[in-house]
Structure formats: C-alpha cells, structure tokens
Structure 1
C-alpha cells in the first residue's frame, strides 16, 4: 500500500483492522495481568507449600522475601528495556508475541512448581525463576503494547486506543480475583492447599495461547522505513533522549503512586486506619475497579477532543488537593469507602486513560518502545510498587496520616511536569 506523505516523511496509513488491533493488544494485556495478579491473590497458599515455616534451610525465608517483594518489580525495568528493544528492532507484533508466550510459560512454571516437601530448596528456586520471568514479561508488555496501541489508532483516536491499556489491565485483575475467589469458596481448605492454588496458573497458560493466536494475526505498526533502518542500540533511547526519559519519569511518578494507592493498597489502608471489615474492603475494591474500567474510554475520548494536558492536570492538581481529605474521610462504613475509592478512581482516570498516548507521543519511532519501557517501569518500581510498603511503614511508626500527604506531594510534583508538557493530541504521530 502506498504510504501517505507528510512533509518529507512517509507515514503508513492507519490499519484497516482497528478492532482486531485493539483486541490483540487488549486481550493479551488482560491475560498478562491476570497471571501477574493471580500470584498476588494466592500468595498465602503458595507460601504454605513453597516456603513452609518449618523448613530447615535458613535460605528459605530469604528466598521467600526475595520472591514476594523484590523479584517482580526488579525485573520490570529490565523487561521494559529488553522487550522494548525487541519491539524497536524486530517490530511491535514480534515483541507482543514474545511477552505473552513468556508470561504463559512462567505462569505454567508457577502452577507446576514442586512443593518444598517434595523438592526441598529447589521449590523456592523454581518459584523465584518463574517470578523473574513474569516481571520481565510484564515490564516488556507495557512497552510493546503501549506503542502498538497508539500506532494502531486512526486520526483523532490515539487517546481512545490508549485507554484500553488500563481497561484490559483492570479486567485481568478482576478475572484473577474472581477465579481465586471462586476456588476458595468452592474447594475445601485441604484441596485448596494441595492443588487448588495451581489451577489459576495453568488456566493462565492456556489463556496465553489464545492471546498468542490473536496477536499473531495482528498487523505490524512499525513503518517499512523503520524496518529498513539500522537497528537502534540497547541504550540508544537513554543516551540520545535523556530529557524525554526523565520526562517519562516525571509524568509517571504521581500517577503510579496514585494508581497503586487507589487500586491495590486502599483496602488494606482502610482496614488499618478506619477499621473497615476485610469483606467490605474487598467488595468495595471490586466494585470500584469495575467503575474504573468503564471510565477509561471516556477519559481517552475527552483527551482526543480537548487535548492531553487538561486531563493530566485534572488528575495531578485534583489529587494534590483532594488525596488528603479523601483518605482522611474513611470511616468504618462500606458506603463511605466505596464513595472515597470511586472518587479516587475518577481523579486517577485523568492519568491512566491517556498515559500510553502521552508516552508514545514523546519519543520518536526508532526508539519509542524501549524509550517508554525502561523509564516507565523503573518509576513504577520506585514509586508504585513501594506504595503499600511506605503506607504500612507510616502505620508502624504511628504516623498513618503522613501517607495521604506523600501521595498529594508526589502528584503535585507531576503536575508541575504536566504544566510544561507540549500539547501533542492533535499532532501527527511520527512514524
């Protein structure tokens, strides 16, 4: 097909199958995050079989801590760099097929991990390896799928396509929660301990094959000109575009902290600070996540109409002003918790619905995936992944009220970055 000419740079026309492109990115991304969150929801069952308290070796508790808290988030920046490089060198579709096969394989490895009673120290070693691969896959998934989604969008639809990054992430989280809850409420405790916890991971491997099949039929979004160009070096994005790399970090810092606060840590925070019952906290979290998923396309469409900066500032300044009163308003009440969490999700949508588009519009196509993947995943590891631990630390120090201020200040810092961002919504995407 003849390329459309914009100035002196050939720009390929929008894909003829936008829905197939959207499905390829979204289904695969949902499967990736289903596998990632399944481990979180079933960690207590896994620990009992792989890291028993009665283990003789002193390495077992060390490996337990490493596996649960460090491995996944440590590997995400590495995955963002490596898989981003694959996307820039070999094509977006190639990287997406690699990440979903990697996640499927690592999920199956978790499901087949031997117990400590059967294999001794080998059991935690196998599980740590599986989590290493999962972290690598998730970090690479964001880099590749972000680029693929935005480059697949037609004119004036990049924000809308971008929003499906978090629609699919949230659906994966809800699916993992639902499967785990179904098994826990269906199987007897001894069956859940012995083999029930393995079922979601084997299911995840099967779902990964379905996602792989869908992605194989997607169209490549990297231009023919880029495919013929010399391959970029592994660290070329960081070396040649340090400002853009720092910009990704500044854009993401407040957003990732707010994301993990409102979507993951809030039920625990509500239990610790307001005495909310665990069942109420989990139900409110589930309902608000569904609400959050529905908001994403709305935020993406609004950004296509009015630009990227307004929703980013709505999130950043709104969170800076309202995080403290919202989190301090929590009471031992399901209704109050649900309203607070939904309000936080509404603010958060200003960031999540368009972060993929904003990131993709910053970097040139030659290093777009790797340029996004490494600084984004590193910022998530530093600020998002640590949110529950920072909040719990303040609680242990007897200063739980500091955590809302931590969220507010970091969102204010990101708002200063948003104020200086050039408006890119209505510009042609460089290809």
Structure 2
C-alpha cells in the first residue's frame, strides 16, 4: 500500500475545506475558453495582418494570406505533439500542473503574435517569429484537450461525468464566439488601415491578459490525480513509477485505436458544421458572406446551449445510444442536409442547427467517453496523442478536402465523404462498452506495474 496520501477526494490544496465542484468546472472551462479565443483569433484576424508579416508575391495579392494560413496549418499539426507531451505532464506531475502550463504557453504565444514585427522592419525575422508563436500555441491547444478532459471528468460527482464533460465544448464554443466578437468589434471601431497597422494586435494582447485570468483561476483548483509525490519530488511510489511517454500507446493499443475511431466521425462532422459550412454555402450556393457569418454565430450559440443537455441525458441513458444516434444520423442525413443548402438565409440556419442537434450526441460526451477508456495512470497522454492526431487528419483537413472537391468539379462528393467517415465511427461505437455507470478509475494503479 502506498504511503502517498490521496488529495483529490477530501480537500483542496493548502486547505481543509471540501473543494467546490463549481470552482473545478470554472478552472477547466474558463481556461479552455481563453485557449480557444487565442487560437481562433488568429484565423479571424489573419486577413488584416497578412500583408504586414509576409511580402507579396509577384503579381499575386493572395500570397500573404495563403502564407498566413499555411502557418495556421503548421500550428494545427503541432497538436498531436502537444497532446502527447502535455498529457505526459498531466500524468506525471498532475492535471493542475499541465493546465497551468498549457495556459501559460497559449498566453505567451498570443503575446508573441501581438509583438511580431513587420516584414518591412525586420525582413525574414517577422514570419519566423509568427511561426514560433503558432508552434507554441499548437503545443498548448493540443495539450489542453488532454489535460482539461481528464480534469473535468475526474472532478465530476457521481452520475455527473457526462454533464461535466459537456463543458469542454461549451467553453470551446464560447472562446470561438469571443474571438469572432472581438474581431468584429475592432473592425467596427477602427478603419481598415488602422486594423492593418496596429488594430489586430489588440486582440492578441487581450488574449495574453485573459490567459493571466485563466492562470489565476486554475492555480486555485484542486488536483484530481489522487496521489502526490513527496515534498522532494522523489521517493514515493508515484515518482518511482511515473508512466513513460508512450506507455499509453504501448500498454493500451486497443484503447488508443478506439480513440481514433471514436474521434474520426465526430471531428469531421464538427469542423464541417461549425467551421466550413458557411464557406460551403458561399462556394456551392452563392450564399451572402455576411449572412453566412451571422448564421454561423447564431448556430454556435445554439450549439453551446445544447451541450449540457446532452451531457445530462448521457448520464441517464448512457454514452453509447448518444454516439450511435449521432453517427447513424450523420451517415444517413449528411448528404440530403448539405444538398438542402441554398442561398436563402433560413435554409442555411435550419441545416446548420439540425446538424448541431445530431452533433451534440458526440461533442457533449466525447471527453467522458475518452476518459472512461483509460486508467488514471496514463489517462491524459493516452487520450491526448490519438485524439489530436485524428483531429489533425480528419477535422483539420475538412475545409481543405471540401474546397478540393469543389475545385476538381466534384463538390457533390464531399457530403458523401462526411457520411462515410461517420459510418465508420458508427461501427466503432457498436463495439464500445457502455461506461457511463461504471466507477471511474482515479488511482494511479502503479501497483504491480
């Protein structure tokens, strides 16, 4: 029996009073919203700072913007590395330590973007600084899902893991809406010339400041890893048996593959409906650009409201029915729904909201389902790497694949692509055990390992 004392169940760090579950929820959710604000601010404001950082190509005014979005993609593919490294920190040093580190990295990356010099002033140093900033942010956001997912689910009370897990996407959506709103507000208050010269930097400075708020909230949270090292950081069973970097993949290959299968359909549906659909409507149906952004904002707000309802429902009926309805629903309806998109405002709004209802069957419980597959010892890293890799491969490429099909003259194939990936996930969900009502393993389980 270990001599290390359990800390997650009965007291907060530095105090004897029972910890507040609301504080735990706020620590994960507010911090996660700040993370995603910083991440999405880049894509919303790229059109303003592209010319400042990248020189124009000969006769091609799109070169700066294309280069800026190429840097965005580089950050996206840093997410699996972040999921692995930050997940390992969460499993070795504790969830709170990982959450503190991810928000520090995101805030530092956001500050670096805000202070990025112009190409005219420093030449090639400008894009190098921007690339470094996005690499740091990619590491952060990749690790954020692994750490905050684990932290949320382990903080939940009995029969409330689905509800707590749902706040992963509530806060993600809140961050996305905040970034869009901040960009719109700045664009409304400043001239286009002011936005291009210095206005865009305000949004990233705000992100750095918000990161300090998230850091303060997270530092007061309770650790959910139920055993802690001694004061010297060595000599206890935990420090003697810390999990290796790839232990989750090595010891639990089936669970790692399940994470990929669970995520594939969910991430492609998520990025198609929350990110790409307005562009899809513009390109394929001639939808007005301003109206498309309005529809996207309204549907995202609707989506955020649905998440806790989905989480509560899963705590009653289980995770598996929710996942099966989501996947089969998209496999059957993705094609007809996307074909219903016209240039009418109400058509896009109804299609996007209908998809959001189905999508909630995945997003509201993804954190719980993933966390319930792994033991506490390797939970964060076990989730982080396969999840982030699958998101990068299927979710992050969804807008590109959709645009490529259109450019190749086969725009009708993209809905089928979404449907097929969701059908694959449907069969994975059929093979999943129901974990909603099982006790969550909160021990490090180092005995005999």
Match of 1:290 in 2: 301
Match of 2:364 in 1: 353
Query: In proportion to residue count, which structure has more helix?
Result: 1
1:116 aligns with one of 108, 114, 119: 119
**Is 1:147–2:150 an aligned residue pair?**
yes
CA 1:10–1:109 in 2, change beyond 3 Å: closer, same or farther? closer
CA distance in 2: counterparts of 1:269 and 1:392, whole angstroms: 8
Structure 2 gaps of 5+ residues are 12-17, 230-235, 443-449
2:281 aligns with one of 270, 275, 281: 270
**Is 1:217–2:220 an aligned residue pair?**
yes
Alignment of 1:109-258 (within 5 A): 109-224=112-227, 228-229=237-238, 230-258=241-269
Alignment of 1:329-408 (within 5 A): 329-408=340-419
CA 1:124–1:330 in 2, change beyond 3 Å: closer, same or farther? same
CA distance in 1: counterparts of 2:419 and 2:65, whole angstroms: 34
CA 1:47–1:163 in 2, change beyond 3 Å: closer, same or farther? same
Contact 1:160 1:301 in 2 (8 A): yes
1:91 aligns with one of 94, 108, 117: 94
**Is 1:73–2:76 an aligned residue pair?**
yes
Match of 2:424 in 1: 413
TM-score normalised by the chain length of structure 1: 0.95
CA distance in 1: counterparts of 2:289 and 2:77, whole angstroms: 29
Match of 2:15 in 1: none
Contact 1:255 1:351 in 2 (8 A): yes
**Is 1:318–2:329 an aligned residue pair?**
yes
CA distance in 2: counterparts of 1:98 and 1:369, whole angstroms: 14
Q: Could you say what secondary structure the match of 2:361 adopts? A: helix
TM-score normalised by the chain length of structure 2: 0.91
Q: How far apart are 1:66 and its partner, in Å?
A: 7.4
CA distance in 2: counterparts of 1:146 and 1:198, whole angstroms: 30
**Is 1:40–2:43 an aligned residue pair?**
yes
Q: Could you say what secondary structure the match of 2:372 adopts? A: helix
Moved over 2 A (4+): 9-16, 60-70, 225-229
Q: How many residues align?
A: 421
Alignment of 1:92-107 (within 5 A): 92-107=95-110
Match of 1:18 in 2: 21
